[in-house]
Amino acid sequence: MLKGKKILLAVTGSIAAYKTASLTRLLIKAGAEVQIVMTDAATKFITPLTLSTLSKRSVYSSVTSEEGWNNHVELGLWADAMLVAPATANTLAAMANGFCNNMVLATYLSSRCPVFFAPAMDLDMFTHPATLANIDKLKSYGNILIDAEEGELASGLVGKGRMAEPEHIVEALELHFMQQGPQPLKGLKAILTSGPTVEAIDPVRYITNHSTGKMGTAIADTLAKLGAEVTLISGPVKVKPKHPAVKIIDVKSAQEMYEAAISAFPQAHIAVLAAAVADYTPENVACEKIKKKDGDPMRIDLCRTKDIAQELGKIKTEQQCMVGFALETQNFRKNASKKLEKKNFDFIVLNSLRDKGAGFGHDTNKVTFIDRQLEIEEHELKSKLEVAEDIAAKICKMLQKKAENAQELTAQL
């Protein structure tokens, strides 16, 4: 979400300024361009040289320098977002009341972009009525608060006042940009299955797979960004969607995932089945831990789980768009094409474990789309977020085509 975005990072004089080194690296890693301005006090906590090296840009701490005028007006117009982090009590008061006696404040008053601020100060300073009033005033101007977090403070007190962690600040910026732009799926409902399922053998052991849910989470965030009301039915995963409009239903077993999907599907316009659902589950689950016996093999009788995609395909309407995934190790396209017909998918996303950087656990994927007309779209290795955007674009085209076909049918009748 931050790729190509211009972020103006304003650093002020707090001990939390040391965190801006990590923050800068995270922003750069996310693909953003970062320009840094500092107050003179901030340079006492972290050097401009450090931040210049990390951002690969000159850092400005004064309106004038040996090179001449550092154009704060130009910087304010350049940025897609300005981020004041850390924002001290003094800086908050100055911003709230229009003071302009340093580079940060001059740039703030010249900015036309959204301005985020992440307070950092001691507990009593943060909770003082004057500080809270300044925060409220800044919010009333349309500035966006990235709230302070609780924990141990520089004074030794424990409470609220710590600057938000760099990862949380980046997430706040990502969320902002995620909610911008066109929303072609606004008003539509989408369900999505993601992650692995866990099939219990006994209270201790279970059968599962290597799915991390990264691909499904990326799709959920992307569909929500485009305006869809998304319900994510997820097996046990660590990665969670960032978009607040994504409703999460946590499940464990294939049966639980089936029940959640079959309940939500009739109201959905879009269904993306990205979960790695177990094909088999133990026929009998032991109530107590199964004890091992020396020399004896352990045998578990398995039975088939419900084929979620196939069951949904039976009740799918012409106006619903259903997308499946196929992870194959051989006869890739032949097997994927069979699934299209058998499970009534509109298109299928094929990936192979043989492709380097694709499959479970990676942040990248290499996929091929095959639709009902057996048209094939091959995509190069991309980040999973970029793959999710490709999938969402294909869904939008499919829905548009379905709408046009419905209009033609209505006209004929």
Least confident of 99-103, 373-377, 409-413: 409-413
As a CATH number, domain 6-178 is 3.40.50.1950
Give me the amino acid identity at 266: P
**Is 186 known to sit in a ligand binding site?**
no
Q: Where are the domains of the chain?
A: 6-178, 189-292+299-412
**Residue 405 binned pLDDT confidence (cut-offs 50, 70, 90):** confident
Q: What is the pLDDT of residue 223?
A: 96
**Residue 359 binned pLDDT confidence (cut-offs 50, 70, 90):** low
352 vs 7: which has the higher pLDDT: 7
In the block, tokens 């690969």 appear at 56
CA dist 345 and 343 (Å) reads 6
Cβ 6 vs Cβ 33: under 8 Å: yes
Of 143, 209, 331, 344, the catalytic one is: 209
- E-strand stretches of 216-353: 229-234, 246-250, 270-273, 280-282, 302-304, 321-328, 347-352
Q: Do the first three CATH levels of 6-178 and 189-292+299-412 match, i.e. the same topology? A: yes
CA dist 302 and 329 (Å) reads 23
Cβ 199 vs Cβ 280: under 8 Å: yes
Mean pLDDT score of the chain, rounded to an integer? 92
**Is 99 known to sit in a ligand binding site?**
no
Task: Please give the CATH topology (third level) of the domain spanning 189-292+299-412.
Answer: Rossmann fold (3.40.50)
Least confident of 8-22, 152-166, 327-341: 327-341
The pair phi, psi for residue 220, each rounded to 5°, is -60, -45
CA dist 115 and 197 (Å) reads 42
Q: What is the pLDDT of residue 292?
A: 83
pLDDT at 68 over 60: no
pLDDT in tens, 279-314: 999 999 999 998 888 777 888 999 999 999 999 999
CA dist 117 and 404 (Å) reads 46
CA dist 143 and 158 (Å) reads 27
Tokens of 369: 């789309």
**Residue 242 binned pLDDT confidence (cut-offs 50, 70, 90):** confident
Looking only at the bridges linking them, the beta strands covering 364-365 and 270-273 are unpaired
CA dist 343 and 323 (Å) reads 10
Q: Active site includes 102?
A: no
pLDDT in tens, 366-386: 999 999 888 899 999 999 989
Q: What is the pLDDT of residue 380?
A: 92
Q: What is the pLDDT of residue 62?
A: 87
Q: What is the pLDDT of residue 349?
A: 95
CA dist 224 and 54 (Å) reads 33
**Is 126 known to sit in a ligand binding site?**
no
Q: What is the pLDDT of residue 101?
A: 92
**Is 289 known to sit in a ligand binding site?**
yes
Q: Does the model's pTM come out above 0.75? A: no
